[in-house]
Structure 1
Amino acid sequence: MNQRDAFLKEFRGPTLGTVTPQSSADELFQNEVLRPILKLQNDLFIVSFLNYTSKNHIDFNAHSIEKRMTIIDNAIQKDIKFRNSLKGMIIGLFTAEEYALYIKNSSSLNKRMMGMLIERLKSQIQLFETI
């Protein structure tokens, strides 16, 4: 393992979630790689989303909770440029080995990544009001 890979693994922290012998390869990747990265990058995701709403002239706090949830969904699911930016924030913290695993099943892992990120932002919706 090279220095960058060792640094990234230590910097991201331990596995989050349950890993069992019955866990699928995607589930292992999710808990060992994606969850720690999402946790590490959380503040950046929040600031990035706020920047997205500002640039797109969306008065996020003027809407109901349900509408805010829809705005989060639409921003990540339908705005390909924003989605790719978020993916880059995650993929940039992969080791070379993790990236090799990722490209073998990128479609499924992208769905997991974006689903987890959407839920993470929705669960912290109250933070958008204070920033």
Structure 2
Amino acid sequence: MALRPAVDTEPTTTNAAEAFQNQTLRPILKLHNELFLSLFRSYLVRRKQAPDGRFSRITPPEQEAYIEHTLRTDQKFRNLLIGTVIGQFTSTELADFLADEAELTRRTLNMISQRLIDQNV
């Protein structure tokens, strides 16, 4: 946990999922930002979409749609990304994650998607 960077967020006391997102997920995603970018670039190469493939030639809105579609439909890639995040949890954080797994998985994938979109993979 000492390796995790500090992330400035607004304090939240009304929603446990949002609190977990801000206290646990955001620092992990920030810590492993380059890893997520590398994983997605590797995914594009495997799918013959990069480096000179289709992905680099489509418009930013189409790239955004591609990223969102990939994270929604490619179960194997989704599991790799979620597993990368879960691997950084403490035992307590894992228990909290499993208590609301569907919601926290959705939030995690949304944040990863937004990171990929914002950084022009």
**How many angstroms apart in 2 are the aligned matches of 1:62 and 1:74?**
17
Q: In the alignment, what sits opposite 1:94?
A: 89
Report the CA distance between 1:88 and its aligned residue: 0.8
Q: Which deviations, in whole Å up to 9, do the C-alpha atoms of 1:27-80 show, x marking residues without a partner?
A: 110000000000011000001000001101112111111111111111111100
List 4+ stretches of structure 1 deviating above 3 A. none
Question: Which of 20, 32, 46 is 2:37 aligned to?
Answer: 46
- Consecutive unaligned residues in structure 2, runs of 5 or more: none
Q: In the alignment, what sits opposite 2:5?
A: 13
TM-score when scaled to structure 1? 0.85
Distance 1:62 1:15, change over 3 A: closer
Q: Which deviations, in whole Å up to 9, do the C-alpha atoms of 1:69-125 show, x marking residues without a partner?
A: 111111111100000000011000000000001101000000100011111111111
Identity between Structure 1 and Structure 2 (%)? 34
**How many angstroms apart in 2 are the aligned matches of 1:62 and 1:68?**
9
TM-score when scaled to structure 2? 0.91
Aligned length: 117
Contact 2:5-2:30 at 8 Å conserved across structures: no
Matches within 5 A, 1:1-131: 9-20=1-12, 22-58=13-49, 59=53, 60-125=55-120, 128=121
Contact 1:16-1:36 at 8 Å conserved across structures: no
